[in-house]
Amino acid sequence: MENHKFSSPKLVLEFFVREFYFVGKGTLRTQFPKDAFFYQGRSKALEYRYLERAHKKYVKRTQCEPELIIKPDSLLFSSEFNAELFAKITKPQTNTIMKISGDYLYKEKDEEQYRWYFQQDEIKTNSYSGENSQLKYENIRSLAPHHFNIEAINDEGALITNFPRKSLSLTLNKGETACFICRREEYGADYSYQPALNLVMWIKNHGFYSDYQQLKPTKLMQEQAIEPFYMKPAREFDFRNSKLRFELG
């Protein structure tokens, strides 16, 4: 496998987002399965279910081939990776690569049982070409799941975030994983309505990368870890007893 060099270092973040949305302030919680309340084990999903925006309908897939695998010393990309997105990743202005996956508990019809589904896997990038270093990672808030943000980061890759609320200041060092357990009550009406949410979100800070490789999809499949990153030790931040009603944490 041939090593390639990025023209500038890339911060790499990995997310696993577990969601359960529900409606009704007076909803009797006993009608929900136990897993609805902040399940933290290995995913029980057996298939993907996500909105295909081109056709504006939900589709199901039994599997999705990996496009990016994160190794300790190199990023492994599929040789069939989307060319336009790969060009964005390798640009000098791109400073962050986010690998986002997850699952959610849902039932399609009232008479059916709740089931776990995988969310669509995504890879997002953050770029900045200005001179103000304080703004370098500002846009991550609008790209990352549930507005995860970066307030500052040092040369060793340790980042500071105030997710999920501004009064906090948490440091996540290179190689560390954080697990955020949060809830939010439903609020709003009509177009601004947001259902209630039980959220467990893992974030791993992989630090900065300078090297990458490209592999055929069959080879890339062989590089997948048996144990997902979110099942390894993580620093837990539990906000289930938060007094905030209409925002996370």
Whether pLDDT at 53 is above 70 = yes
pLDDT number for residue 63 = 86
User: What 3-state DSSP class applies to 218?
Assistant: helix
CB 86 within 8 Å of CB 77: yes
Position 28 confidence tier, pLDDT thresholds 50, 70, 90: low
Give me the pLDDT at residue 83, please: 94
Q: Using alpha carbons, select from 142, 169, 173, 6 the residue that is nearest to residue 74.
A: 6
The percent of residues above 90 in pLDDT, for the chain, comes to: 73
Top pLDDT among 189 and 61 is at 61
pLDDT digits (tens, 9 = 90+) for 67-123: 999 999 899 999 999 999 999 999 999 999 999 999 999 998 888 899 999 999 999
Report whether 231 contacts 44 (CB < 8 A). Answer: no
Tokens for 192?
């601004």
Instruction: Report the pLDDT value the prediction gives residue 234, as an integer from 0 to 100.
Output: 98
- Spatial CA neighbour of 178 closest among 225, 229, 228: 229
Task: Report pLDDT digits (tens) over 116-164.
Answer: 999 999 999 999 988 888 899 999 999 999 999 999 999 999 999 999 9
pLDDT averaged over every residue in the chain: 92
Rounded to an integer, the average pLDDT of 178-189 is: 90
pLDDT, residue 174, reads: 97
Q: Are 18 and 39 in contact (CB under 8 A)?
A: yes
Q: Which two tokens stand for residue 73?
A: 């010393």
What's the token pair of residue 91?
A: 């640009």
Q: Which among 120, 53, 125 has a CA at the least distance from the CA of 87? A: 125
If one compares 205 and 53, the residue with the highest pLDDT of the two is: 205
Q: What is the pLDDT of residue 249?
A: 64
DSSP string, 65-81: --SEEE-SS-EEEETTS
* Residue 209: strand pairing partners: 10
Q: What is the pLDDT of residue 157?
A: 95
Burial class (CB in 10 A: 0-12, 13-18, 19+), 118: buried
pLDDT at 2 over 90: no
The more confident residue out of 189 and 219 is 219
Which pLDDT score is estimated for 27? 62
Secondary structure of residue 241 in the 3-state scheme: coil
Burial (Cβ within 10 Å: 0-12, 13-18, ≥19) of residue 134: exposed
Q: What pTM value is reported for the model?
A: 0.93
Report how far apart, in Å, the C-alpha atoms of 157 and of each of 152, 173, 184 are. 10, 7, 30
